[in-house]
Amino acid sequence: MHFGWDYGLSPLEVFEIREKNLNRICQMLIKKY
């Protein structure tokens, strides 16, 4: 999955962004149940 490299971000920045998004998604899922 290539996400972020198109925007000139470094792999570490992409990883941090992805982690934040995953955390947000997980929190949303937890709230539903």
| Mean pLDDT score across all residues of the chain | 76
Report the pLDDT value the prediction gives residue 15, as an integer from 0 to 100: 82
Using a CB cutoff of 8 Å and minimum separation of 24, what contacts does 7-16 make?
none
pLDDT digits (tens, 9 = 90+) for 14-24: 788 889 998 99
Which sequence spans correspond to the domains of the chain?
1-33
Report the pLDDT value the prediction gives residue 8, as an integer from 0 to 100: 67
